């Protein structure tokens, strides 16, 4: 059984009581000892962002999960994994897909127990609600920015802005085509597509890793479909 732990601390926020990195490690080790288990490694990140998966050791841990090398993952408290509900859902789905038992000690949460499964279901419901409310919040934010004359938004993957117009980036659009083919022709899950792209070192926007959430955006955005149709039409002329 391959047991791993994860501890994280935001160095731009006050340290939660008894949840400094050392205390988190101590809590995780104590839990595994009490269960008669041997932990292989505890990954640790100290960063200024509590709502990102783009942390050095968390990325290493995710790679191990994707490669089927993790049986159990233990954290001292649920928010030590991430503070963003949508990212919790993304990670929990990844753990489920790779048969990882997830344990959060402070909440007594264990994904293999009935009560733990109920908690995870509740997190999924909250994440769904949060995702559905994002468009409204985004619209309000954009309106506020426009009123004070700020530039709004980044160009989507596969495009850049030139003179305030979207201009295609051929290399990125080629990756977007691969994503849609993997989804539509091979019926791969978003997680598996992300894993494939990362294994091939095909990078997301600004050189980042791929995650299921970004894959889903490309698969569901009609912008890429329209662009591929336009390409086909131009080739047939």
Higher pLDDT residue, 187 or 140? Answer: 187
pLDDT for the residue numbered 82: 81
pLDDT tens string 72-98: 999 998 888 887 777 777 888 888 889
Residue 100's Cβ-count burial label (10 Å; 0-12, 13-18, 19+) is buried
The residues near 112 (Cβ < 8 Å, ≥ 6 apart) are: 101
Question: In the prediction, which pLDDT does 52 show?
Answer: 78
Question: 236 pLDDT band (50/70/90 cuts)?
Answer: very low
Mean of pLDDT over the chain: 80
Contacts 24+ apart (CB under 8 A), 123-131: 123/85, 123/88, 123/89, 123/92, 124/89, 124/92, 126/85, 127/85, 127/86, 127/88, 127/89, 128/89, 130/85, 130/86, 131/86
pLDDT for 112-163, tens place per residue?
888 777 777 766 655 454 445 545 555 555 555 545 544 456 778 888 877 7
Answer yes or no: pTM beyond 0.75. Answer: no
Query: Bridge partners of 8?
Result: 45
Confidence band for 231, pLDDT divided at 50, 70 and 90: very low
User: Mean pLDDT over residues 177-181, rounded?
Assistant: 92
Mean pLDDT of 27-34: 95
Domains and CATH numbers, the chain: 3-124 (3.40.50.1390), 159-236 (no CATH)
Q: What is the CA radius of gyration of the chain?
A: 20
What confidence score (pLDDT) does residue 121 get? 73
Beta-sheet strands, E only, within the chain = 3-10, 41-47, 72-75, 101-104, 109-110, 159-162, 165-168
pLDDT at site 175: 94
Angle among Cα 191, 208, 177 to the nearest 5 degrees reads 60
More confident residue, 213 or 20: 20
pLDDT at 47 over 50: yes
CB 214 within 8 A of CB 157: yes
Q: Determine the average pLDDT of the residues in 202-209.
A: 82
Range scoring the smallest mean pLDDT among 31-40, 65-74, 94-103, 218-227: 218-227
Q: Which residues does residue 162 pair with via DSSP β-bridges, in sequence order?
A: 165
| In the predicted structure, residue 61 carries a pLDDT above the cut 50 | yes
Tell me which of 16-25, 120-129, 181-190 is least confident.
120-129
Name which of 35-49, 58-72, 73-87 the model is least confident about.
73-87
Residues 6 or more apart in contact with residue 73 via CB below 8 angstroms: 3, 4, 5, 6, 61, 65, 95, 100, 101, 102, 103
pLDDT of amino acid 42: 97
């Amino acid at each position: 059984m391959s047991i791993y732990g994860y501890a994280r601390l935001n160095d731009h926020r006050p340290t939660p009581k008894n949840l400094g990195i050392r205390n988190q490690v101590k809590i995780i080790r104590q839990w595994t000892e009490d269960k008669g288990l041997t932990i292989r490694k505890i990954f640790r990140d100290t960063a200024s962002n509590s709502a990102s998966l783009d942390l050095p050791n968390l990325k290493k841990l995710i790679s191990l999960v994707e490669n089927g090398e993790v049986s159990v993952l233990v954290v001292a408290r649920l928010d030590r994994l991430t503070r963003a509900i949508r990212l919790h859902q993304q990670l929990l789905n990844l753990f489920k897909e790779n048969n990882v038992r997830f344990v959060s000690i402070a909440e007594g949460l264990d994904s293999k127990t009935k009560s733990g499964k109920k908690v995870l279901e509740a997190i999924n419901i909250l994440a769904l609600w949060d995702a559905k409310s994002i468009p409204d919040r985004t619209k309000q934010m954009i309106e506020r920015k426009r009123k004070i004359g700020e530039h709004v938004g980044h160009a989507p993957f596969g495009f850049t802005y030139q003179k305030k117009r979207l201009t295609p980036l051929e290399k990125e659009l080629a990756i977007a085509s691969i994503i849609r083919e993997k989804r539509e022709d091979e019926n791969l899950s978003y997680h598996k597509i992300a894993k494939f792209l990362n294994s091939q070192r095909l990078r997301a926007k600004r050189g980042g890793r791929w995650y299921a959430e970004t894959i889903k955006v490309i698969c569901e955005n009609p912008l890429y479909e329209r662009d591929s149709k336009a390409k086909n039409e131009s080739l047939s002329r």
